[in-house]
Structure 1
């Protein structure tokens, strides 16, 4: 039996998603603070949230990495040294950097572990060896690399390597895009991306309909789990610091199952199909293997105009509190007596449940309740093991295109 296993690394937009990620199987999470990162539009973590997040993660033997991966101007560097000292003081397990100047500040002001961001476009072992000399402990390689190429870099340079294995992809080389600068006056490389590449465009003086030609399909690595082990990819990273708790829960649960099943020798076509089906339930663009096996080509372009809401199920809500008798749900969709829901525990099978009773937080019986509300349902025997931060989806399915699952032995 193979006892070595890669880390499963998940995104966390805020404290709720951090807890969801860890409870659903993530070994580590990456988060952003209020400054210095590339996801300025995410909720991001206050200093207080970071302290609480680290305490929660370490309680479950998980790690927390903080993104300092924006390309900073001199004025942006103000306070970075003090911030690094704060991160070290609360036990942050590492920081993710792109810029050599930021790396230098981190090293001068703290003893934090440094991970090199994919934005730095590390694509070969010579580059990896240089970054290692600079004090980098882990490389998050450019998404242009295959699993085999990444494994070879790790082997030649003697440094840990990390890959994105699921989520949204950028059309630009290693994310070095300036479209948002021109369309919205926001610098993508300093945290201001508005995803202008996802929009339909029409060529001037042509009568053709608008098309999307820069929007990438979403990445998934379901069929590459064997290769991740074979090539000693130390960390498997899920994209999505702007995504919902539903997305975080379903992706963590799926890849946790894959990693554990590979270690146990229990991967079957049926398991792969079930995992693929659950990943189809979350909002996504069509899935693609990107460059995990071969260089991405025109087949990796998402040419639809319908956006990314192609999931088969609607995210209903999340359990925010429990008592011995009731579960309190924060709803994102309306709910009525008679509706059928699916409760998705961190471990075990999905629970199908028909709503027979709804109560307000004051204990009043309800026939229905609108979205963005809190409602209680009875905690019957089958729901006794359901705890806070469990996600729930509606049972009814939407009709969407389902790409063929590619598998290999």
Structure 2
């Protein structure tokens, strides 16, 4: 039985390390040019080299995005960049344009993955892309698992599908709303997610009724229940969306899907496992979940109504462990922390340790009652925290009142 790959987003070097350490088989990321996430941190050439070294040391692959819709003047430097990516042993590049694919093949021996931006939805299209050198197709989100499996069977190509995260309301690569609402090209790294905004809808045939509505905003995708189907239909890679999401999001989603895939491969599959996974995926901010088109075409029930169901989370992303010594753990805080706050350390093996520090120390080892956002906090190690290592994500449970206010 071939286990699907867990493919995680890496918006920066910290998130890459979190993804790999929490169990991702591979990560996808972007450099400073040619990709679609202009607002994420992205990687300099030096950071790319370090990222590949770290991932490979831990048995994970690295895929680099070259999937923006490029004009002729954007092609400058592409061949040299591909040679650089090959020199640092990048495992594959993700492209959406036939011209870019050809330039990659002419300048390097890099493996080619077809981006979902190309909206490949059938085996005939996939065969053409295979002839152009593709070894993997990231199929459009509009396909069911069964349809994607047919493409895999007929073409012999690796098939990658999204399993979790934000969904686009349009066919991938065919949305231009941000171009009109903000003057930013959706398909050249400038998408501002205009589909998430509420719009006033004017119904002329209903007495000129005006309705404020998020009618083109999709719920988030959650494929927890469909792990057996991915196995059955030979899907090679399960992709988690979210290069601009937090390290808590990366750690949680990777841990959840790692456990699900491994459990099913061992023959251990139960309703309790599914329920626990779903509960864990409520811990970070998210829209209502749906199955997208994984089993049937997405319908009106997948539209996210923000006004009646605001994004909520059971936990706050509080800190990340940046260093450990024999006596202390050093945490970088993302929100203020009082001394009596119970902390939850999300271990990289999947377990969560709940611990309330007896005292807080600042970076100079002075005892403090409260630590501020973006500060370095020291807490004393004990036997319970023995397994905590750098890049462990730390969260705190949200109060009931905070959840309601959200």
TM-superposed CA distance for 1:397, in Å, is 4.5
TM-superposed CA distance for 1:395, in Å, is 2.5
Higher mean C-alpha displacement, 339-348 vs 108-117? 339-348
Q: Does 1:129 align with 2:127?
A: yes
Runs of 4+ in 1 over 3 A off after TM superposition: 203-209, 305-309, 396-401
1:187-208 CA deviation, whole Å, 9 max, x = no partner? 0100100011101111369664
- Superposition TM-score, scaled by structure 2 size: 0.96
Decide whether the 8 Å contact of 1:352 with 1:395 is kept in 2: no
Higher mean C-alpha displacement, 299-308 vs 249-258? 299-308
The within-5 A match list for 1:317-356 is: 317-356=319-358
**Cα distance in 1, alignment partners of residues 212 and 318 from structure 2:** 33
**Cα distance in 1, alignment partners of residues 360 and 27 from structure 2:** 35
- Name 1:361's counterpart in structure 2: 363
Decide whether the 8 Å contact of 1:162 with 1:234 is kept in 2: yes
1:50 to 40, 44, 48: 48
**Cα distance in 2, alignment partners of residues 162 and 335 from structure 1:** 40
- Name 2:214's counterpart in structure 1: 212
Which secondary structure does the structure 2 equivalent of 1:232 belong to? coil
The within-5 A match list for 1:192-211 is: 192-203=190-201, 208-211=210-213
- Name 1:6's counterpart in structure 2: 4
- Name 2:164's counterpart in structure 1: 166
- Name 1:313's counterpart in structure 2: 315
**Cα distance in 2, alignment partners of residues 245 and 319 from structure 1:** 11
2:79 to 64, 78, 81: 81
Decide whether the 8 Å contact of 2:357 with 2:380 is kept in 1: no
Which secondary structure does the structure 2 equivalent of 1:65 belong to? strand
Decide whether the 8 Å contact of 2:220 with 2:288 is kept in 1: yes
Higher mean C-alpha displacement, 205-214 vs 187-196? 205-214
Which secondary structure does the structure 2 equivalent of 1:128 belong to? helix
Count of aligned pairs: 399
2:243 to 241, 247, 250: 241
TM-superposed CA distance for 1:369, in Å, is 1.2
1:245-274 CA deviation, whole Å, 9 max, x = no partner? 000000000000001100111222112111
1:78-134 CA deviation, whole Å, 9 max, x = no partner? 100100000000000000000111111101111100000001011111111111111
The within-5 A match list for 1:294-309 is: 294-305=296-307, 309=311
2:152 to 151, 154, 173: 154
**Cα distance in 2, alignment partners of residues 305 and 187 from structure 1:** 28
Decide whether the 8 Å contact of 1:334 with 1:369 is kept in 2: yes
**Cα distance in 1, alignment partners of residues 161 and 150 from structure 2:** 13
Decide whether the 8 Å contact of 2:159 with 2:236 is kept in 1: yes
Higher mean C-alpha displacement, 246-255 vs 363-372? 363-372
Which secondary structure does the structure 2 equivalent of 1:111 belong to? coil
Decide whether the 8 Å contact of 2:201 with 2:213 is kept in 1: no
2:93 to 92, 95, 115: 95
2:232 to 230, 233, 240: 230
1:296-335 CA deviation, whole Å, 9 max, x = no partner? 0111110113897421111111101111111111111111
**Cα distance in 2, alignment partners of residues 333 and 93 from structure 1:** 36
Q: Does 1:394 align with 2:392?
A: no
Could you list the runs of 5+ residues in structure 1 that have no partner in the other structure?
402-409
1:329-359 CA deviation, whole Å, 9 max, x = no partner? 1111111111111111011421111132100
Which secondary structure does the structure 2 equivalent of 1:202 belong to? strand
- Name 1:28's counterpart in structure 2: 26
- Name 1:176's counterpart in structure 2: 174
